[in-house]
């Protein structure tokens, strides 16, 4: 990299990766100095900011349990829950079953479900294959679906969003009246 001045921003580096660099000067007459000693640095993790999504009323129904691999998380009624402190490891090429259990406080209603995983860690759930499971509105409980982690998934920690919406399939960035949204962390690893 050629630098004019005393600093240079680098792009295209991977998060949480150690790099080495050496520096030398180049004078206007094209004379160059010897390279410096090796400088080692580690990049920081990328902080991704996902769109908000939530229900606005959990008086009638909410997600009471999510199960995926080693995640088995019971929870109470919330509009949105940040469970990114709870994680499980998923292996590329492997198939998994996710189970979502709703709770109704009175009458049983039809609920739609969606689950997304940000496989390429770009801070959204919009890319092909990132909506890993959907279930049309049903009053069945619990509901389950299977998905396979693609070989193209980035090996790192990323976010999984689980959403339940009254009488319709939710979208990843939707705010809706009845239901709940929960975010979790999944760690993607290479094939076993």
Backbone angles phi, psi at 155, to 5 degrees: -80, 100
pLDDT at 44: 72
For residue 100, the surrounding DSSP H or E stretch is: strand 95-104
Backbone angles phi, psi at 149, to 5 degrees: -75, 125
- Joined together, the tokens standing for residue 186 give 């999944």
pLDDT digits (tens, 9 = 90+) for 131-166: 999 999 999 999 999 999 999 999 999 999 999 999
For residue 109, the surrounding DSSP H or E stretch is: none
Is the four-CA dihedral 122, 186, 144, 169 of positive or negative sign? negative
List the domain boundaries for the chain.
54-189
Classify each residue of 127-162 as buried b or exposed e, where b means 16 or more C-beta atoms within 10 Å of its C-beta. eeebbbbebeeeeeeebebebebbeebeebbbbbbb
CATH of domain 54-189: 2.70.50.30
Per-residue pLDDT of the chain (192 residues; tens, 9 = 90+): 677 777 778 888 877 788 898 888 888 888 888 999 998 887 777 778 999 999 999 999 999 999 999 999 999 999 999 999 999 999 999 999 999 999 999 999 999 999 999 999 999 999 999 999 999 999 999 999 999 999 999 999 999 999 999 999 999 999 999 999 999 999 999 986
CB 142 within 8 A of CB 33: no
pTM exceeds cut of 0.75: yes
**Rounded to an integer, what distance in angstroms lies between the CA atom of residue 104 and that of residue 192?**
39
pLDDT at 43: 78
Backbone angles phi, psi at 187, to 5 degrees: -110, 120
């Amino acid at each position: 990299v050629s630098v004019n001045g005393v600093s240079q921003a680098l792009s295209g580096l991977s998060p949480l990766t150690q790099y080495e660099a050496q520096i030398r000067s180049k004078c206007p007459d094209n004379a160059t100095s010897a390279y410096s000693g090796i400088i080692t640095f580690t990049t920081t993790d990328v902080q991704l900011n996902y769109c908000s999504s939530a229900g606005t009323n959990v008086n009638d129904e909410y997600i009471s349990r999510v199960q995926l691999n080693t995640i088995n998380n019971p929870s109470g009624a919330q509009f949105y829950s940040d469970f990114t402190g709870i994680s499980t490891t998923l292996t590329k090429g492997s198939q998994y079953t996710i189970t979502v259990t709703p709770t109704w406080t009175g009458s049983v209603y039809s609920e739609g479900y969606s689950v997304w995983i940000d496989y390429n860690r770009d801070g959204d759930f919009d890319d092909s294959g990132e909506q890993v499971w959907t279930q049309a509105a049903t009053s069945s409980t619990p509901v389950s679906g299977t998905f396979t982690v693609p070989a193209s998934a980035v090996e790192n920690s990323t976010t999984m969003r689980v959403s339940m919406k009254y009488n319709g399939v939710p979208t990843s960035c939707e705010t809706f009246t009845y239901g709940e949204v929960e975010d979790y962390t999944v760690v993607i690893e290479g094939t076993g």
